[in-house]
Amino acid sequence: MNENLREQLLLLPAYFQGHLLLTLAAISCGVLISVPLGVWAEQSVRVKRPLLTTVSIIQTFPSLAILALVVALLGGRIGFLPAFIALTLYSMLPIVRNTVTGLESVSNSVIEAAKGIGMSPRQILREVKLPLAMPVIVAGIRTAMVWTVGLATLSTLVGATSFGNYIFTGIQTRNLVAVTVGSLASAGLAVGLDSLIACVQWLVERRNEEVDSKRLRQLRVAVYAVIALVAAIALYGILPQPRADFVVAGKPFTEQYIMAGLLAGELEEAGYKVERQLGLGSDVVFSAIRSGSVDIYVEYTGTIWANYMNRESNPGRAEIRAGVIEYLQRQGVQTAGFTGFQNRYALAMRRDRAEALGVSSIDDLLEIADELSAGADLEFFGRSEWLRLRDLYNIDFARKLTFDPSLMYTALVEGQVDLITAYTTDGRVAAFDLVLLDDPRGALLAYDAMYLVSDSAASNPAFMGMMGSLAENIPDQAMRQANRLVDVDGESINAAIDYLRGEIVED
């Protein structure tokens, strides 16, 4: 546990820096856009209504949808830019609205006086209306700041670094320490930045006071120091970083975190600089490898066959392999061979239940299926594999329930369902002593894990040599045990990677 915490804390500087830069960039840009818009809206009724409606509508969009839309509008570009744009849009409503409200709340008699003594409209705005509206405007900025810090965690899903990396990795690998560290860090950052703005506001409101107490001066120095530090940390990220030699990516589940970590570790050991893009969505990572913004990740033949090639048939493992390789060549995606393990769907039962019912293959279920409850992950019953299973065996279950994968195993172990669609390399198969049922009619697809490689990485002989030494080197059993270390035994991803490397060396 302490080792786990230490590992998480080692990630803190990079995630903090990413989160801070993202938040500050979005808020600064949001202020620069929203305050002038608010000033404009306050001066013109014709602008005010449409503008406030527009920023309100932006706010009602689910934040994930905004992120996805921005990525789509940028032509599939992932990373800092789409997250920055989405967060900037999201910061606008409280700032625009408070700017308008603040300016409108300035008393008419003050404005008449300003006009009456000969201030120009610009002077009235700058010297009277804006200073008097400032507390309300700053309150809006603070609201936006707190929202933005929270929302920035979601930007992990589009490949920007933030505390969200902790949270999403932690949820997928059931690492509560990571989730807690990420949540606390995010909350702490929100509180810290909010207090910083409050301090600045307090000092600005007192800048004209001639009684300049010693404590006030000390506070001022302290606040400036903190601002300088925060700015330096955020700006450090803008400095040209030494460009990574290779980008290693993965999807958001345990096996993918382990494999990405393994690949990155091998490359780093060989002296390469590696950038990790972990927890990316399936479609995002496949388009990224095609465009070359990702150099290597592990993909499954069944996924390519069913999801990208849209095939509904199951011609068998070897034919799927051949079909996939041909398809990848047409798509301009290179491969560095297969990993050696296969992570496919299999129907699984508790051993005692299977023995009591005398079940060892799907054929044995035919007589009793209408009395059984089946549990599956969120997508299985919507996939062509389920339709094929149903039609080939002419089978259906009394109840079909869908679960988050981790809850699916719990439901089976506790007897709430009779069988589930397990993953064959899942560590919980062995941990809970589950029986995987044979599939004699070949309904379920093969999911051979393979290394997908970008064009540029494939043209590097040293890289391909290293990957070649990994090919066909990881048996099902080793991957299952690595997954088990994380999912069942609560070990860290790094512990699982170390284990897996040991297995490979022995081989």
Partner 1 sequence: MIELDNVQKSYDGGATLAVADTSLTVASGEFLGLIGASGCGKTTTLKMINRLEEPSSGEIRVNGRNVLEQNPESLRRNIGYVFQGIGLFPHRSVAQNVAAVPRLLGWSEDAIRARCEECMDLVGLPYAEYGERSPNQLSGGQQQRVGVARALAAKPDVVLMDEPFGALDPITRSELQEEFKNIQQRMDLTVVMVTHDMTEALLLADRIAVMREGKVLQIGTPHELLTAPSHDYVRDIVAMPRKKAQRLEELMRDE
By CB under 8 A, name the binding residues for partner 1: 107-120, 123, 128, 131-132, 208, 210
Q: At closest approach, how far in Å is the CB of 36 from partner 1?
A: 21
Q: Tell me how far apart the alpha carbons of residues 250 and 264 are, in angstroms, rounded to a whole number.
A: 11
**For residues 119 and 413, which CB has a smaller minimum distance to partner 1 in the complex?**
119
Q: Tell me how far apart the alpha carbons of residues 190 and 146 are, in angstroms, rounded to a whole number.
A: 5
**For residues 81 and 128, which CB has a smaller minimum distance to partner 1 in the complex?**
128
Q: Tell me how far apart the alpha carbons of residues 402 and 108 are, in angstroms, rounded to a whole number.
A: 62
Give backbone dihedrals phi and psi of 195, rounded to 5 degrees, phi first.
Answer: -65, -35
Q: At closest approach, how far in Å is the CB of 134 from partner 1?
A: 9
Query: Residue 160 burial by CB count (10 A; 0-12/13-18/19+): exposed, middle or buried?
Result: buried
Give backbone dihedrals phi and psi of 175, rounded to 5 degrees, phi first.
Answer: -105, 95
**For residues 119 and 235, which CB has a smaller minimum distance to partner 1 in the complex?**
119
Q: At closest approach, how far in Å is the CB of 127 from partner 1?
A: 8
**For residues 117 and 232, which CB has a smaller minimum distance to partner 1 in the complex?**
117
Q: At closest approach, how far in Å is the CB of 220 from partner 1?
A: 19
Query: Residue 183 burial by CB count (10 A; 0-12/13-18/19+): exposed, middle or buried?
Result: middle
**For residues 205 and 396, which CB has a smaller minimum distance to partner 1 in the complex?**
205
Tracing tokens 């149903």 back to the chain, one arrives at 390
**For residues 205 and 489, which CB has a smaller minimum distance to partner 1 in the complex?**
205
Contact 152, 86 (CB under 8 A): no
Sign (positive/negative) of CA torsion 265, 267, 271, 272?
negative
**For residues 183 and 201, which CB has a smaller minimum distance to partner 1 in the complex?**
201
3-state secondary structure of 451: strand
**For residues 105 and 313, which CB has a smaller minimum distance to partner 1 in the complex?**
105
Q: At closest approach, how far in Å is the CB of 118 from partner 1?
A: 4
**For residues 212 and 367, which CB has a smaller minimum distance to partner 1 in the complex?**
212
Residue 238 token pair: 């803008």
**For residues 2 and 109, which CB has a smaller minimum distance to partner 1 in the complex?**
109
Q: At closest approach, how far in Å is the CB of 165 from partner 1?
A: 44
Which pairing describes strands 274-277 and 373-376: parallel, antiparallel, or unpaired? unpaired
Contact 492, 4 (CB under 8 A): yes
**For residues 136 and 470, which CB has a smaller minimum distance to partner 1 in the complex?**
136
Q: Tell me how far apart the alpha carbons of residues 240 and 195 are, in angstroms, rounded to a whole number.
A: 31
**For residues 135 and 440, which CB has a smaller minimum distance to partner 1 in the complex?**
135
Q: Tell me how far apart the alpha carbons of residues 268 and 372 are, in angstroms, rounded to a whole number.
A: 50
Q: At closest approach, how far in Å is the CB of 47 from partner 1?
A: 24
Angle CA(314)–CA(318)–CA(324) in degrees, nearest 5?
75
Q: Tell me how far apart the alpha carbons of residues 493 and 172 are, in angstroms, rounded to a whole number.
A: 11
Contact 421, 412 (CB under 8 A): no
Q: At closest approach, how far in Å is the CB of 113 from partner 1?
A: 3
Q: Among 247, 68, 248, 253, which residue's Cα sits nearest to residue 169?
A: 253
Q: Tell me how far apart the alpha carbons of residues 246 and 276 are, in angstroms, rounded to a whole number.
A: 9
Q: At closest approach, how far in Å is the CB of 132 from partner 1?
A: 6
Give backbone dihedrals phi and psi of 453, rounded to 5 degrees, phi first.
Answer: -130, 140
Q: At closest approach, how far in Å is the CB of 237 from partner 1?
A: 37
Contact 52, 100 (CB under 8 A): yes
Q: At closest approach, how far in Å is the CB of 13 from partner 1?
A: 41
Q: At closest approach, how far in Å is the CB of 204 from partner 1?
A: 11
Q: Tell me how far apart the alpha carbons of residues 23 and 234 are, in angstroms, rounded to a whole number.
A: 9
Q: Tell me how far apart the alpha carbons of residues 72 and 221 are, in angstroms, rounded to a whole number.
A: 45
Q: Tell me how far apart the alpha carbons of residues 323 and 273 are, in angstroms, rounded to a whole number.
A: 34
